[in-house]
């Protein structure tokens, strides 16, 4: 991505949403954040529930805190259709994450930061898609 979108207004960091200090550093002088980090595989989440919670819920909380600390203008969190009426841990953690981001608007107080959540469904032809496809 860095090779394709090489612009001085963009910075690229390696980090982890579990590392609040790194997030605070990465969000310095940032206007927009798109939060897409998550432990997304249902079987992996079921087998490693604590890891899923640490990444999807505590990671979301860290993103919110770092954004507020740095007065980021807008944070958009990517969610999933699995957060609507969740039947597995992944969906449940994403629902909790969604609720955190929506509630963060109340926590913002005098900060200019605004939080939004967008949900998407399965992408046809992606790994893990429930929509079958064939190449003729």
Active-site positions?
82
Q: How far is CA 133 from the centre of its chain?
A: 28
Neighbours of 73 (CB within 10 A): 13
Half-sphere exposure of 70 (CA within 13 A, CB side): 24
- The tokens describing 85, both together, are 């009426």
Is the Cβ–Cβ distance between 80 and 128 less than 8 Å? no
- Between 59-69 and 89-107, two packed helices, what is the crossing angle to 10 degrees? 20
């Amino acid at each position: 991505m860095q090779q394709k979108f090489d612009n001085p207004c963009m910075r690229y960091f390696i980090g982890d949403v579990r590392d609040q200090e790194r997030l605070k550093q990465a969000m310095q002088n940032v206007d927009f954040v798109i939060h897409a980090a998550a432990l997304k595989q249902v079987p992996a989440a079921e087998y490693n529930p604590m890891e899923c919670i640490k990444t999807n819920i505590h990671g979301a909380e860290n993103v919110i805190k770092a954004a507020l600390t740095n007065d980021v203008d807008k944070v958009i969190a990517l969610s999933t259709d699995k957060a609507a009426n969740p039947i597995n841990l992944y969906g449940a953690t994403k629902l909790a994450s969604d609720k955190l981001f929506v509630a963060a608007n109340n926590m913002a107080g005098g900060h200019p930061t605004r939080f939004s959540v967008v949900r998407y469904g399965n992408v046809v032809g992606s790994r893990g898609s429930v929509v079958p496809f064939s190449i003729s």
